[in-house]
Amino acid sequence: MSGAPALMSLTQVAKAIAEKRLSSREVTQSCLDRIAQWQPKLNAFMAIEADDALQAADRADAALAKGDATGALHGVPLAHKDMYYDKGKVVTCGSKIRRDFVATTTSTALQRLKDAGTVRLGSLQMVEFAYGPTGHNPHYGAVRNPWNTDHITGGSSSGSGSAVAARLTFAALGSDTGGSIRMPAHFCGVTGLKTTVGLVSRAGAMPLSWTLDTVGPLAQTAEDCALLTGLMAGADPDDPTASDLPVPDYVAATKRPVKGLRIGVPTAFYVDDLDAEVARVLDETLAVLKREGAEIVKVELPDQRQLTAACQFVLATEAAALHKRWMIERPQDYGAQVLMRLQNGLAIPAVSYLEAMRWRGPALSAYLAAVAGTDAVIAPVAPMPAATIAESDVGNSPDAEAVIQRITRFTRPINYLGLPSLSIPAGFTGSGLPIGMQLIGRAFDEAMILRIGAAFQRATDFHSRVPVTR
C-alpha cells in the first residue's frame, strides 16, 4: 500500500494526473479503497458516492486525453465538510433537522474547486450545525481519530480532519468559527488554514456566526493549502463581505525561505498550563525555525482571556439568533449539548453583545501593536493533545465541560480578531498522538504564514506520516 496514489499530497497527485503519469480513475479508486478500509473504524464520511466518483473520473480522463484539462485540480478526487451546499445533493449540516435537505445552489468556494476540475467522493461528517469542538455527534455518531480511535478528532470539521489524516481524501473544506479547522488539524496531524474573515466567500456555506465564520482547507501540506486558498479566494457578488483585494500567489510564497523573518512567541497565556509534551513540541518547533534562519522573539500580548470571553459572547448570540425559529419549532430535533449552547445564547443581554462587538477594533489595534516588528506569531493550537471520546462526552463524563473549555482556549482569540492562522503538524506524543502549532498572521497575509509553514515542513516530516489501521 506504500505506493498507493492516495498517499500522495494534493499538489503531487494533481501534477501526476496532469502529466498523465496517473489517471483520475486510478487515483479515485485508490481513495475509494482506503475509504472502504477506514470508514468502518472512523465514521468520517456522511455519504460515499463511489459509482458517481468513478464515472466523473472517467470523464476527467477522457477530457484530458483530448487536451481539455479543466484547471489546476483536474481529475483530483476530494470530499468536503457536509455544510457546503452542492446543488442537487443532500447537505445535512450534521443535523437531524436537515437530514433530507437538498441544496438548490452550490457554495462559491465549492464551485471554484469544481471549476478547477475536482471529482466529488462524497461528503464528510461534522459536529451538528458546526457547534462543538470535539467531534461528537448524537445523530450520526462520533468521528474517530485515525491515530487512535479511542480519541477525538476535534470539531467541528471532524470528518475533514480524520479523512485527510487517514488519506481518504487529498484535502477537504472545513470551516473555522472558534477553531473548527485548527483543532481537527492539530488533533489529527494535518495542515489546516483558518483564513482572514472575508478572504473566501461564505455564500452557500451553512452559517453559524455571521461575523466569525471563515472558510478554509485541511490538507497534508502548507503548499496544498496554498493551492486551494488561491483557487477559492477573491470577490464574490453573492457575498458582499468577501474581499475584492487582489489574490496573491500563495503557492509561490511557500517556496520562499524563512531566513531573516522574525517570529514572535507569547510570554503568557498561549504558553501557560501546557501539557508537558505540548511544551516540548513548542520548544522543538522553535529550534527548527531557528536552524532555518528565523529569529525568535518574545512578544507580550494584551490579556487574551478577555478575547476568548468576547468571542464566546459574539458566537453564542449570533448562533442563537440564526437558530431561534428552529429552537421554537423543533427543539426535540437538536442534540442536547447543541440545544443547551444555543439556548444559553438567548440569555446574553444585547448590551453584552454590543460591547463585545464594539471592543473588537481596539482589541485588534492592541494586538497589532504588541506584535509590531514580527512577521508572525507562533503558539500551540491547544494546551493538550486529543482527549479521549469518553472523557469529552458531556452526557457521560463529569469533567467533559472543562475539557471542552480547555480545547478552545487558544483558538477563539484569533477568531475574535478576524486574523488568519495556520495549524501545522509539529510532533507527536510518546503514545503516538499528533501535536500541532499555529502560525498567526496579520489580516490578509496568509502568504506569510503559509511561507513559514512550508519552510518548517521542508525541514521536518511530521506532515507526511500516515496512521496505520489496527
Radius of gyration of the chain from Cα atoms?
21
| pLDDT over 90 at 398, yes or no | no
Position 326: which residue type? W
- For the question of whether the overall pTM of this predicted structure is more than 0.75, the answer is yes
CB 93 within 8 A of CB 129: yes
Assign 149 a pLDDT band (cuts: 50, 70, 90): very high
pLDDT at 1: 38
- Its sign, for the CA torsion 1, 223, 201, 114, is negative
Q: What is the mean pLDDT of the chain?
A: 97
CA distance linking residue 349 with residue 279, whole number of Å: 38
Most confident of the following: 67-71, 118-122, 404-408? 118-122
pLDDT above 70: percentage of residues in the chain: 99
Residue 470: the pLDDT is 66
- CA distances to 227, 247, 278, 307 from 441, in Å: 18, 16, 21, 17
* Cell triple for 443: 489580516
If you search the block for the grid coordinates 484547471, which residue do you land on? 71
* Rounded mean pLDDT, 233-247: 97
For residues 116-142, give the mean pLDDT.
97
Domain range list for the chain: 130-305+357-464
pLDDT digits (tens, 9 = 90+) for 255-300: 999 999 999 999 999 999 999 999 999 999 999 999 999 999 999 9
Q: CA–CA separation, 55 vs 34, rounded Å?
A: 18
Q: To which CATH superfamily is domain 130-305+357-464 assigned?
A: Amidase signature (AS) domain (3.90.1300.10)
Chain segment 353-370, per-residue pLDDT in tens = 999 999 999 999 999 999
110 vs 107: CA distance, rounded Å: 5
* Residue 469 reports pLDDT greater than 90: no
pLDDT at residue 152 is higher than 50: yes
The percent of residues above 90 in pLDDT, for the chain, comes to 96
Per-residue model confidence as pLDDT tens digits over 63-114:
999 999 999 999 999 999 999 999 999 999 999 999 999 999 999 999 999 9
pLDDT at 180 > cutoff 90 = yes
Mean pLDDT in residue range 103-130: 98
The catalytic residues are: 81, 156, 180
CB atoms within 10 A of CB 352: 16
SS3 287: helix
The CA–CA distances, whole Å, from 66 to 57, 62, 157, 164, 194 equal: 14, 7, 37, 31, 38
pLDDT band at 414 (very low <50, low <70, confident <90, very high): very high
In this predicted model, what pLDDT tens digit does every residue of 303-335 receive, in sequence order? 999 999 999 999 999 999 999 999 999 999 999
Instruction: Give the mean pLDDT of 193-215.
Output: 98
CA 30 to chain centre: 24
* For the chain, the helix, strand and coil percentages under 3-state DSSP, each to the nearest 5: 40, 15, 45
Beta carbons of 224 and 191 less than 8 angstroms apart: yes
Helices (H), 43-170: 50-65, 108-115, 158-165
